[in-house]
Amino acid sequence: MAVSMNSVATISSPGRITKEDNKLRPEDRPAHDWYRFVLSFPPHFVREYLERFEVRPNQLVLDPFCGTGTTLVECKKQGRPSAGIEANPIACFASKVKVDWGIRPEGLLKYARQIAEETLSKLEASGIEDEPRPPLFRTSRKGSPQLRSLPLETSKLLLSGSISDLPLHKCLTLLAVLDERKGSRFAGHARLALAKALVSQISNLEFGPEVGVGPPKADTAVVKPWLTCVESMAEDLKLLRDKQSVPVAVYQSDSRSLSKILQSKSVDVVITSPPYPNEKDYTRTTRLESVLLGLIRTKLDLRSLKSDLVRSNTRNVFKYDRDDEIVANHPDVQRIANAIEARRKDLGKTSGFERLYARVTRLYFGGMARHLAGLRSLLRPGAKLAYVVGDQASYLRVMIRTGQLLADIAASLGYEVLAIDLFRTRLATATREQLREEVVVLRWPG
């Protein structure tokens, strides 16, 4: 069953979308701002669809690609129970911490200040100060201190130059102190605060939306920015405590195998944003904090993580993948994949990754079809769903209308397509064209 763009209601218009609409509003910062992906959808988007779907307090909202928990946090703030699925361990960890509002702010501050004091003592004992001083005020050191470092196999997982030696030493010293108290009720919040401080202040990383490495920071404070993040958490917890009892469940798992986790006919609403078919390696974006927090230690860990992801880029394609077989008879998916392969041959592109462009396109839509097929048994009759997806031209500038294709696949699986709304537009890196991000709105008739 094909779905024409003209046969569905497009609610939003490009004139209503502004850059400010895509940002985190000041009033939304509590919990949401503890740690976020670059280009995460904003909390007010979740509120809009909770209102549009008329979600009641006794209805369960599912985010099967929950990332760093925007849907879950906002549902908890609005008093709606929710569940999230996420395969990336750092994102899953962040989601769990961001919906944990049951700890005492005063206790968290006391714990963090003790950790900070002990870390500073350890650094000073080795002749290292957390706060870099101007050259005129630096004290002379006798010899070079022995700096902590990562095991060689682990360090190879990082983007080269993503963190300088001295800041890394300070981070590892702080983590060693945290590990001595890893059984503490406050440990998760403290570690997530370090993840935020790492990517926002301590590391050499730059986000554009792609992750890259900027000028090296030979020395920078670690304990101070970490403690500032913890203090911000504590202030937020004072505002959120009246909502701490709203139920939220977060699972680290593959979104294509949901029936192993959730009960049949338990989900009333889905609000989510799956990965898009492009060359964005989401594990690369979060690699530094994943490695330093010990969530990825080896290439085998990284491979295991990637195997649980929908195949959205050539760096997580495996020989044993079979999701492409699910869409073998879908004419539009095959047409686009064939166009990508034809363009590759015309341009004489022969690298291993370029040879995979057509296959990863088929794998992506096959994986999404597998997800939508498995989701059906979990949905209550009349359940409503909102999927944020974006058009792509990453593969040799062949346009992929992701929302339209996803809607067509959903229709073929028995879903009703209610609308394809414009969410926002963004500038394509390869073509400098404005690409649409859309919300595919579905209903499960049951």
Nearest to residue 128, comparing CAs of 169, 161, 163? 169
DSSP alpha helix (H) spans, 33-184: 43-52, 70-77, 89-98, 105-125, 152-155, 165-179
Q: Are residues 211 and 273 in the same domain?
A: no
Residue 209 domain flag? yes
* pTM (2 d.p.): 0.92
Q: 229 CB contacts (<8 Å, ≥6 apart)?
A: 34, 193, 194, 196, 197
pLDDT band at 210 (very low <50, low <70, confident <90, very high): confident
Q: Are residues 47 and 110 in the same domain?
A: no
105 vs 424: CA distance, rounded Å: 37
Residue 427 domain flag? yes
Convert the pLDDT of each residue in 103-128 to its tens digit. Answer: 999 999 999 999 999 999 999 998 89
Residue that is written with structure tokens 């067509």 in the block = 408
Q: Are residues 272 and 182 in the same domain?
A: no
Residue 306 domain flag? no
Q: Are residues 187 and 269 in the same domain?
A: no
Residue 3: is its pLDDT beyond 50? no
Nearest to residue 271, comparing CAs of 98, 42, 427? 42
The answer to whether 213 and 177 are in contact (CB under 8 A) is: no
Supply the pLDDT for residue 51.
Answer: 97
Q: Which of 10-14, 145-149, 169-173 has the lowest mean pLDDT?
A: 10-14
74 vs 288: CA distance, rounded Å: 27
Q: Are residues 328 and 422 in the same domain?
A: yes
Q: Are residues 216 and 271 in the same domain?
A: no
Q: Are residues 398 and 327 in the same domain?
A: yes
Residue 365 domain flag? yes
Which H, E and C letters describe the chain, residue by residue? CCCCHHHCECCCCHHHCCHHHHCCCHHHHHHHCCCCCCCCCCHHHHHHHHHHCCCCCCCCEEECCCCCCHHHHHHHHCCCCEEEEECCHHHHHHHHHHCCCCCCHHHHHHHHHHHHHHHHHHHHHCCCCCCCCCHHHCCCCCCCCCCCCCCHHHHCCCCCCCCCHHHHHHHHHHHHHHHCCCCCCCHHHHHHHHHHHHHHHHCCEEECCCEEECCCCCCCCCHHHHHHHHHHHHHHHHHHHHHCCCCEEEEECCCCCHHHCCCCCCEEEEEECCCCCCCCCHHHHCHHHHHHCCCCCCHHHHHHHHHCCCCCCHHHCCCCCCHHHHHCCCHHHHHHHHHHHHHHHHHCCCCHHHHCHHHHHHHHHHHHHHHHHHHHHHEEEEEEEEEEEECECCCCCCCECHHHHHHHHHHHCCCEEEEEEEEEEEECCCCCCEEEEEEEEEEECC
Q: 137 CB contacts (<8 Å, ≥6 apart)?
A: none
191 vs 162: CA distance, rounded Å: 19
Residue 267: which H helix or E strand, with range?
strand 267-272
Pairing of strands 267-272, 211-213: unpaired
Residue 239: is its pLDDT beyond 60? yes
Residue 182 domain flag? yes
Q: Are residues 320 and 411 in the same domain?
A: yes
Residue 63 domain flag? no
pLDDT band at 182 (very low <50, low <70, confident <90, very high): confident
Cβ neighbour number for residue 362 with a 10 Å cutoff: 25
Q: Are residues 120 and 159 in the same domain?
A: yes
Domain count within the chain: 2
Which H, E and C letters describe 12-32, residue by residue? CCHHHCCHHHHCCCHHHHHHH
Supply the pLDDT for residue 143.
Answer: 54
What average pLDDT does range 213-225 have in this prediction? 96
Supply the pLDDT for residue 425.
Answer: 85
Residue 374: which H helix or E strand, with range?
helix 357-375
pLDDT band at 20 (very low <50, low <70, confident <90, very high): low
What average pLDDT does range 272-296 have in this prediction? 94
Q: Are residues 420 and 272 in the same domain?
A: yes
Residue 80 domain flag? no
The answer to whether 44 and 423 are in contact (CB under 8 A) is: no
Nearest to residue 310, comparing CAs of 58, 27, 15, 86? 86
The answer to whether 353 and 281 are in contact (CB under 8 A) is: no
Residue 77: is its pLDDT beyond 90? yes
Convert the pLDDT of each residue in 371-411 to its tens digit. Answer: 999 999 999 999 999 999 999 998 999 999 999 999 999 99
By residue range, what is the domain housing residue 353?
5-56+265-278+313-444
What average pLDDT does range 213-229 have in this prediction? 96
Residue 253 domain flag? no
Q: Are residues 195 and 51 in the same domain?
A: no
Supply the pLDDT for residue 21.
Answer: 60
Nearest to residue 47, comparing CAs of 68, 64, 32? 32
Supply the pLDDT for residue 117.
Answer: 97
404 vs 364: CA distance, rounded Å: 14
Q: Are residues 50 and 118 in the same domain?
A: no
